Chain A
Amino acid sequence: MPENAIVTEALTKNFGHFTAVDALDVSVPKGELFGLLGPNGAGKTTTVRMLCTLIEPTQGTANIVGYDIRERAAEVRRQIGVVSDGVSLYKDLTIEENLKLLATLYEIPRPKAEVRIRELMDMFAFREKATRLVGALSTGWAKKALICAALLHSPQVLFLDEVTSGLDPQSAIALQDFTKKQCEQGVTVIWTTHYMGEPEKICDRVGIMFAGRLVQVGTPNELKRRVSELSVVEVETPALSEAQLDKLKSRLKELAQVYHVKYADPRLEVSCERTDSLAEEVASALLRVGARIRAINTKDPTLEEAFIAFTGGEEEIDRFMESAGQKT
């Protein structure tokens, strides 16, 4: 059985009466790329901040490579690298100057630090931008600079919190590939995101967080299998009006538990509980509201659809987002 890099037990964080993270139990083996998936306000960043020792848990415990985050915080900090929205580099310094500062703080001997900085600058093709101030870098390059800083001291655990937000698709893909390589070299990565497609592509396992709770953990395929009771009906039905769509939603609710209805002319997607004659019933409902049907078929759910099902449906997510917005 592989050794765990991260173990949390009943890890909880309250901000006043608001529970941001609620009794989180999770174990992440060394070298795993673990995705934390959830909407904004689900508790992902708070979880990362607790594990990074930036904030103290209200209850529960967590260990990072064997060190308790409360009792051995300084040791934990030596073992982790963090890329998160609130953790930045000095804008008035060059990337190299930032890295030199961090090398001193991580007590990396100067010759070794110089080699490592050169290595990272080459790895991220920073050589030409070595003399540019971090504040003058584009979003993509600034993000790469943050990753360089997080990797400088060769951490055993890397926290990448919403790391692809603001990146162009090519940079995001390059970053995903790079992260996979890090895991192959034994680094444990926690990858948090609210983009549903990302963990499906790169993560070994995914934890779905919702309202501070970890509602499901498994490989992307396992999660999808667990929602095998879920069906997605795809229909090509052009020029559906708002009124038709509203009528359709209420008719569908009479037929089965509907989690999600998405319409982008001409494509309609209905995620709902699997029933024997689902496609026929959706087609019949569409015809009743006067819609034209060009094609119809059923398919297996994606991780996004699974996420919606696990979190109690679209309306539940909307309610949560609203209340999370009020609390923040």
Chain B
Amino acid sequence: MSARGFFNDSMAVARNEYRQFIRNRSAILISLVVLPLFFTVSLGAGQGGAGTTFSPTAHIPIAWVDEDNTLASYRFWQSLSTSPDFRDLIQGYTEQGALAQLGTKRIYAVIVVPNGFQNDLDTGTQARIILYTDDSEPGVSDQIQATLTTYTQNFNPEVQVQPYETELQRQSVAGVAIVAKGATFAGFNIGLTTVLAIVQIFAGFYEIAGGISKEREDGTYARLLVSPISIGSIMLGKTLFDVVLTIIRTFTVLGISVYGYGARPNTDILTLLALSLIVSLITMGLGFVVASLKLGQRAVVIIEFFLILFLFAFSGLIIDSNLLVGVSQVISNLLPFSYAFDALKRTVLLGRPLPTLTFDLEYMIGSIVLLYAIAFVVLHFSRERLIT
């Protein structure tokens, strides 16, 4: 088959998808209205409720900058670094050097002990330490600040290593206040990163896996297979149509987020669109693979719910993937969706240009190619199984 024939067939499939779609009110309602509205409104109502306060801090890399260089600052360092909560405190940074690393995922926070720390403690005035956090990881920031607060309240410069103080000792300690610094995001920026991805995953997966399942059950898939169309053309046609739906959904989510909930993404519309499409293409690739399993439409819906739960657990949607341990982290590192969520946070929250996220991009595009290749092969070899 010529390239032109291949493309014509794909366009015919895409047109066919469109014709069926516009006659299916429930599909329009679910795909373009219910899913974007449901997720955006429900998360928006919580004003960035995608984050969570649960976040163990033990293995989070945090830069330690000691500008006081006194016994008190050393004791404070000692009390943190020997505690079970801050095992990855890194020394040797200057304040500027550490701040430059924030947002790169090498470090997630910077603790600065300023000049005069010991002096303030000696004179009975409230001493200060400065905490900078990577605000693109809201769970992590909150957790670091909360845990650090406990340690400042319990800090006794007279005690060498004192992670577990008595009530009496605690009362005798002079106060240390934390001055938290970091970028302040518009209320719904964090919610936007989650919604944008989840909506595309929810809709895209069902449109592909459920769509092929419906075609198989209706006998129209067999109709295509007895015609000269190739599996590749069928896949491309369905993908092209879903790309159009993805674009519509992206604008819907963005519109509600910006105008309804005051989201102010720190990136441009093209980046958002590109990331939406990448998430959607990964999902579609997965959808094609699942479609080869000869599942009914109901089974596809069940798998979809499991997929979403799985992603909530492992892909950094709720718990940052860097905080996961053992096998969980391995799973998270393998999931292309983890890189998509990460890229969304880096761009929407921190304003990093998409091309600078080289590894994330490479991994996601590689995953799309791999998933489509697997889907092509399995659909080709499942040909017989899918129509009998």
Chain A interface residues (CB < 8 Å from chain B): 15, 49, 52-56, 74, 77-78, 80, 82, 84-93, 97, 101-102, 104-107, 133, 149
A55 and B387 alpha carbons, distance in the complex (Å) = 8
Collect the chain B residues with CB atoms within 8 Å of residue A89's CB: 220, 223
The answer to whether B220 touches A105, judged by C-beta atoms less than 8 angstroms apart, is no
Assembly CA distance A149 to B383 (angstroms):
21
Q: Residue of A at shortest CB range from B223?
A: A87
Instruction: Add 19 more A-B contacts to A54-B226, A54-B387, A78-B228 (CB < 8 A).
Output: A54-B222, A55-B387, A74-B1, A77-B226, A86-B222, A88-B218, A89-B223, A90-B218, A91-B218, A93-B19, A93-B20, A97-B16, A97-B19, A104-B9, A105-B228, A106-B227, A106-B228, A107-B8, A149-B223
- The smallest C-beta distance from A88 to any residue of chain B, in angstroms, reads 3
A149 partner residues in chain B, CB cutoff 8 A? 223
> Are A92 and B20 interface neighbours, CB within 8 A?
yes
Contacts of B16 in A (CB 8 A): 90, 93, 97, 101
CB distance from B312 to the nearest CB of A (A): 34
B23 at interface by CB-CB < 8 Å: yes
**Bound-complex Cα distance A52 to B19 (A):** 27
Q: Is the CB of A52 within 8 A of B226?
A: yes
State A54–B382 Cα separation when bound (angstroms).
Answer: 11
Give bound CA distance, A49 to B8, whole Å: 27
| Chain A residues closer than 8 Å to B223, beta-carbon distance | 87-90, 149
* Chain A CB within 8 A of B388 CB: yes
Contact B20 A86 (CB under 8 A): no
**B218 CB to nearest A CB, Å:** 6
Cβ of B20: which chain A residues have Cβ within 8 Å of it? 90, 92-93
Whether B15 pairs with A101 at a CB distance below 8 angstroms is yes
B14 CB to closest chain A CB (Å) equals: 11
CA separation between A91 and B225, bound complex, in Å? 17
Q: Which of A56, A82, A90, A91 touches B226 (beta carbons < 8 Å)?
A: A82
Q: A55-B384, A104-B12 are in contact. Are A87 and B226 (CB under 8 A)?
A: yes
Q: Which residues of B contact A107 (CB under 8 A)?
A: 5, 8, 228
Checking A54, A78, A80, A101 against B384 with a beta-carbon cut-off of 8 angstroms, the contacting residue is A54
> Within the assembled complex, what's the spacing in Å between the Cα atoms of A77 and B226?
6
Which B residues lie within 8 Å of A93 (CB)? 16, 19-20, 23
Query: CB < 8 Å: which of A77, A80, A88, A92 contacts B219?
Result: A88
Tell me how far the C-beta of A45 lies from the nearest C-beta in chain B, rounded to whole angstroms: 10
Beta-carbon nearest neighbor of A74 in chain B: B228
Instruction: Tell me, yes or no, whether B96 is within 8 Å of chain A by CB.
Output: no
Chain B residues with CB under 8 Å of A74's CB are: 1, 228, 230
> Quick one: given A55-B387, A86-B219, A91-B218, are A101 and B24 in contact (CB under 8 Å)?
no
B224 within 8 A of A: yes
Which residues of A lie under 8 Å from residue B12 when comparing CB positions?
Answer: 101, 104-105
B interface majority secondary structure: helix
> Interface residue count for B (Cβ, 8 Å)?
28
CA gap between A102 and B223 in the complex, in Å: 9
- Considering the chains assembled together, what is the distance between the CA atoms of A97 and B225 in angstroms? 18
B350-388 at interface with A (beta carbon < 8 Å): 383-384, 387-388
Nearest to A101 among chain B residues (CB) is B16
Least CB distance from B296 to A in Å reads: 15
1/0 contact trace for B4-27 toward A, CB 8 Å?
010011011001100110011000
Q: A104 contacts B8, CB within 8 Å? A: yes
The residue in chain B whose Cβ has the minimal distance to the Cβ of A93 is B19
CA distance A86 to B224 in the complex (A): 12
Q: Is B236 an interface residue (CB 8 A)?
A: no
Closest residue of A by beta carbon distance from B24:
A92
Do the beta carbons of B220 and A90 come within 8 Å of each other?
yes
Residues of B within 8 A of A84 (CB): 222
* In the complex with contacts A87-B219, A107-B5, A102-B387 CB distance below 8 A: no
Provide the residues of chain B in CB contact with A82, threshold 8 Å.
226
Q: Does the CB pair A105–B9 fall under 8 Å?
A: yes
Looking at A53, A54, A56, which has the most chain B CB atoms within 10 Å of its CB? Answer: A54
With both chains docked as a complex, state the minimum distance between the C-beta of A160 and any C-beta of chain B, in angstroms: 13
Within 8 A of A (CB), among B205-237: 218-220, 222-230
CB distance from B254 to the nearest CB of A (A): 30
Q: Is the CB of A92 within 8 A of B387?
A: no
| Smallest beta-carbon distance A94→chain B, Å | 9
How far is A15 from B385 in the complex, measured between Cα atoms in Å? 11
A86 contacts which chain B residues (CB < 8 A)? 219, 222, 387
B227 in complex: contacting residue of A56, A77, A88, CB < 8 Å? A77
Q: Which of B1-56 contact A (CB under 8 A)?
A: 1, 5, 8-9, 11-12, 15-16, 19-20, 23-24
Q: How far is the CB of A153 from chain B (nearest CB, A)?
A: 9
- CB pair B218 A56 closer than 8 Å: no
Taking a contact as CB atoms under 8 Å apart, the answer to whether A53 and B226 are in contact is: yes
Q: What is the distance, in angstroms, from A186's C-beta to the closest C-beta of chain B? A: 21
> Within 8 Å CB of A87, what residues of B?
219, 222-223, 226
Give Cα A89 to B221, complex, Å. 9
Nearest-CB distance from B19 to chain A (Å)?
6
CA distance A73 to B279 in the complex (A): 35
Minimum CB distance partner of B216 in chain A: A86
Expressed in whole angstroms, the Cα–Cα distance for A80 and B223 within the complex equals 12
- How far, in Å, is A137 (CB) from chain B's closest CB? 14
* Alpha-carbon distance between A7 and B357 when the two chains are bound, in angstroms: 59
Closest to B2 in A: A107
A200–B107 Cα distance when bound, in Å, is 84
Residues of A within 8 A of B226 (CB): 52-54, 77, 80, 82, 87
Could you give 12 example pairs across A and B, Cβ below 8 Å?
A: A49-B387, A74-B228, A77-B227, A86-B387, A88-B223, A90-B16, A90-B19, A92-B23, A102-B227, A104-B8, A106-B227, A133-B23
* A1 vs chain B, min Cβ distance (A): 30
Given the known inter-chain contacts A54-B387, A55-B387, A56-B384, please indicate yes or no for A105 contacting B219, CB distance below 8 A.
no
Residues of A close to B229: CB separation below 8 A: 105
- A105 with B227: in contact, given A54-B222, A92-B24 (CB under 8 Å)? yes
Distance in angstroms from A207 CB to nearest chain B CB is 22
Within 8 Å by CB of B225, from A54, A78, A80, lies A54
Q: How far is the CA of A144 from the CA of B13 in the complex (A)?
A: 23
A234–B12 alpha-carbon span in the complex (Å): 60
CA distance A74 to B227 in the complex (A): 8
